[in-house]
Amino acid sequence: MPDTLIEVRALHAGYKGHAVIEDINLSLGANEVLCLIGHNGAGKSTLLKCMFGLLPKMQGEVRLGGGLTLNEVALVPEGKGVFPSLTVRENFDLGLDAAKIQAAERGARIDWVLKVLPQIREFLHRRAGTLSGGQAQMVSIGRALLKRPRVLIMDEPSIGLAPKLFQDLLGPIRALQQAEGLTILLVEQNVREALKVSDRVAVMKQGRIVWRGTPSELNNDRLMELY
């Protein structure tokens, strides 16, 4: 069995005393891609916030295993989160600052990201606000990778992207995960495309996890019934 890096047990959380996620049990194993799917309002972002200490728990626990620390977790936020008036390179500099990467190491980190996502090289010196949605999403993922995380969390990276573009984006990330042992939690509404790159799936509905299994077990009928 691979190490469990993050384990959520019987977690309840919400806002102003009102629980919006209830009895969540979820584990993220080393080197897997876990896809968490659910409609708008299912509670996916609330779960993420609670997992990373941005929202207090009402009940339950979140445990880190395998020696993981929160410093080794990188989040690609919903809505890309790039600074539009800065160039891609300047956005990367801010990412390096946030990850407290020493001056001597910064160039190598950028080179490594450009090796993983080589298309970024073409627009490295353009202002992020002039990029297409797919390019901006790529920059957002690249910036998260600069800290060479053990766990990468992506909150709805497909928003605003055509399915083909989404695949182009996820392909290199899946390749990186397989080559270097990255662990990924992919939060998505775009089920079909996300399942193509996932090892396990959890379906969330009205604040609860209602199904979990592998992508091949989630056939069309089951998906229609659950989602």
- Quote the least distance from Cβ 171 to ligand ATP, whole Å: 24
Stretch in the footprint of ligand ATP (CB under 6 A) among 40-48, 125-133, 165-173, 217-225: 40-48
**Kind and range of the H or E element at 106?**
helix 103-116
Which CB atom, from 135 or from 158, has the smaller least distance to ligand ATP? 158
Strands of 96-169, DSSP E: 151-155
- Quote the least distance from Cβ 187 to ligand ATP, whole Å: 7
Strands of 16-111, DSSP E: 18-29, 33-37, 59-64, 73-76
- Quote the least distance from Cβ 45 to ligand ATP, whole Å: 3
- Quote the least distance from Cβ 178 to ligand ATP, whole Å: 28
According to the binding rule CB under 6 A, does residue 40 interact with ligand ATP? yes
How far apart are alpha carbons 34 and 46 in whole angstroms?
17
According to the binding rule CB under 6 A, does residue 158 interact with ligand ATP? no
Q: Which of residues 41-70 bind ligand ATP (CB under 6 A)?
A: 41-46
Which CB atom, from 43 or from 95, has the smaller least distance to ligand ATP? 43
Provide the 3-class DSSP secondary structure of residue 81.
coil
- HSE value, Cβ hemisphere, 13 Å, CA-based, for 77: 7
Which CB atom, from 14 or from 149, has the smaller least distance to ligand ATP? 14
Which CB atom, from 99 or from 188, has the smaller least distance to ligand ATP? 188
How far apart are alpha carbons 139 and 135 in whole angstroms?
6
According to the binding rule CB under 6 A, does residue 191 interact with ligand ATP? no
Give the total of residues touching ligand ATP (CB under 6 A): 10
Q: 60: closest CA among 28, 27, 23?
A: 23
Measured CA distances, 53 to 61, 62, 115, 144, 218 (Å):
11, 9, 32, 18, 31
Tokens of 205: 């509905």
Give contact residues for ligand ATP (rule: CB under 6 A): 15, 20, 38, 40-46
